[in-house]
Amino acid sequence: MSTDSQVLLALQYWREYRTYFHIAQSWNINESTAFRIVRHVEETLIRSGRFSLPGKKALLQPDSVLEVVVVDVTESPVERPKKNNHKCFPAKRSIIH
């Protein structure tokens, strides 16, 4: 698999929060292969030194400059049937002997 495809696969995992199983199905590969690709991309980015997080002590320094990233993680409400509303449920089936 090309490097571009591996990065795209990892981005799908991070962005869409899909399981390795579903990503593997989309790419026609094994689930373990999808896992290894994501781990490889993560390790490569960390080794590059350009994608690392500062340690806890560095964040507590008064002269440290923080870069803030805002992510929209708004949840959507889900309509659920009322517990006492019997109109939503089908009638019970009678057992015929």
Question: pLDDT tens digit string along 1-46?
Answer: 899 999 999 999 998 888 999 999 999 999 999 999 999 999 998 8
Residue 17 lies in a domain: yes
27: nearest Cα among 35, 44, 68: 35
Q: Is the pTM higher than 0.85? A: no
Residue 57 lies in a domain: no
Nearest Cα to Cα of residue 27 among 45, 12, 48, 16: 12
Is 65 part of a structural domain of the chain? no
Residue 92, domain member (yes or no): no
Backbone angles phi, psi at 41, to 5 degrees: -65, -45
Query: For residue range 27-38, what is the model confidence (pLDDT) as tens digits?
Result: 999 999 999 999
Q: Give domain status of residue 18, yes or no.
A: yes
With residue 38 as reference, give the H or E element that holds it.
helix 31-48
Residue 82 is which amino acid? Answer: K
The neighbour count for residue 24, using CB atoms within 10 Å, is: 19
The parent domain of residue 13 ranges over 3-51
19 within a domain of the structure (yes/no): yes
- For the chain, how many structural domains are there in total? 1
In a domain, 33, yes or no: yes
